[in-house]
Chains A and B, each alone.
Chain A
Amino acid sequence: MTALLTAFDALVARQTAALAAPGIWFTGVEQVAIAREARAARAGRPGAADLPNAVADASRRIATEAWTIRPDDIAAWADAGLRAEAYVEVLSIVARWTALDTAAFGLALDDPVLPVPLDGLPSRAVVPDAAIDQGWVPTVGTAHPLTALTAIPGGLELQFDVHDTLYLSIDDMGDPLAVRDGATRAQIELAAARTSYLNECFF
């Protein structure tokens, strides 16, 4: 096994453990169900009907057409019981597991196995400094790639676990001559730009 595949395996193990354990707004059972719902949506299959409608709908929209989401959608999900911080946690799960599934496909591996959930209740911890600041959900500081998940404790760490393993470390991000595993920065950014184009994302 190459060092890259070993690093990916370790990433999957860490992310799987996080998914199985109770989160901030969802139990382990619910977190696994969210990941499964998103995976079904990407495959064009119906969901398992084991989540509240708002959670299932948000999971599927984030998985398949995140670019169509608007503040009205987030407000409607909130009216249906999915508060903004919980929506951020759904987003965190779906986005990270989409990345893992895409990487596995491209590395000619099977989709990572969803874990058996652990018992326990979500912490329901709030981040007191999080507030709406140019985005549609609370963030600590201005809505930005580095603050997207800051409404949930630990959100940034889970994001950067994926980011650092699959892309670049924060330190390397400012280096136009960075090379990783033989891929030049231009090649890396072409892959990023083409992915964003396919996802209709302007980032």
Chain B
Amino acid sequence: MLRASLHETGQELHTRVIKEGCGTCGVPAGNDIRALVDACVLRDVDEYPDARVRAELRLGRDTADRIVMVAANFEMMNRLLDAIGVPVAAATTGLAAEMGLVIPEHLRP
């Protein structure tokens, strides 16, 4: 969906950046979003204030809040799926390889 949404707006996704955390992934304000998500998910009290201010200046308060909420939702979804062994969709295999990730045996379809 990330790629599809960028494609709809004529932009290109650089998937490895999502994993590696540096560079430009193709999403507007991507670095600020990534920093805010990292601070929230890792509950990093040192990085959070700067990440929050940067995201809010770039995106506005409501959009920064929405980014936080989305990350929080996936804190839930990730646990739900991993803890009950939901197999990874076959279509995801290529994307994982593109990102330099290997899907573990126990999650392969």
Binding site for B on A (CB under 8 A): 2-5, 8, 42, 61-63, 66-67, 69-71, 88, 91-92, 94-96, 98-100, 102-103, 105-108, 134-137, 139, 143-145, 148-149, 159, 162-163, 165-167, 176-177, 180-203
- Nearest residue (CB) in A for B4 is A176
0/1 interface trace, chain B 66-109, chain A, CB 8 Å (1 if under) = 11111111111111111111111000100010000101101100
Check if B37 sits within 8 Å of A194, measured CB to CB: yes
Q: From DSSP, what is the main secondary structure of chain A's interface residues?
A: helix
Query: B96 is contacted by which of A5, A67, A182, A202 (Cβ under 8 Å)?
Result: A202
The complex places the Cα of A95 from the Cα of B84 at a distance, in Å, of 12
On whether A144 and B74 interact (CB within 8 A), knowing A107-B68, A184-B28, A194-B33, the answer reads: no
Of the candidates B30, B92, B96, the one having the most CB atoms from chain A within 10 angstroms of its own CB is B30
0/1 interface trace, chain B 1-43, chain A, CB 8 Å (1 if under) = 1101111110100000011000001111110011011111111
Chain A residues lying within 8 Å of B42, measured Cβ to Cβ, are 198
Check if B2 sits within 8 Å of A189, measured CB to CB: yes
Q: List 15 A-B contacts (CB under 8 A).
A: A91-B79, A91-B83, A102-B41, A102-B71, A107-B68, A143-B84, A145-B86, A167-B69, A182-B59, A183-B59, A186-B28, A187-B59, A191-B70, A193-B2, A201-B81
Closest Cβ of chain B to A186, distance in Å, is: 4
- Nearest residue (CB) in A for B44 is A105
A-B contact count (CB 8 A): 235
The complex places the Cα of A66 from the Cα of B85 at a distance, in Å, of 10
Chain B residues lying within 8 Å of A195, measured Cβ to Cβ, are 37, 41, 70-71, 74-75, 78
Check if B63 sits within 8 Å of A183, measured CB to CB: yes
The complex places the Cα of A197 from the Cα of B2 at a distance, in Å, of 14
Chain B residues lying within 8 Å of A187, measured Cβ to Cβ, are 27-30, 33, 59, 63, 67
- Nearest residue (CB) in B for A100 is B72
B50 at the A/B interface (Cβ < 8 Å)?
no
Check if B72 sits within 8 Å of A148, measured CB to CB: no
Chain A residues lying within 8 Å of B96, measured Cβ to Cβ, are 202
Query: B80 is contacted by which of A91, A177, A184 (Cβ under 8 Å)?
Result: A91
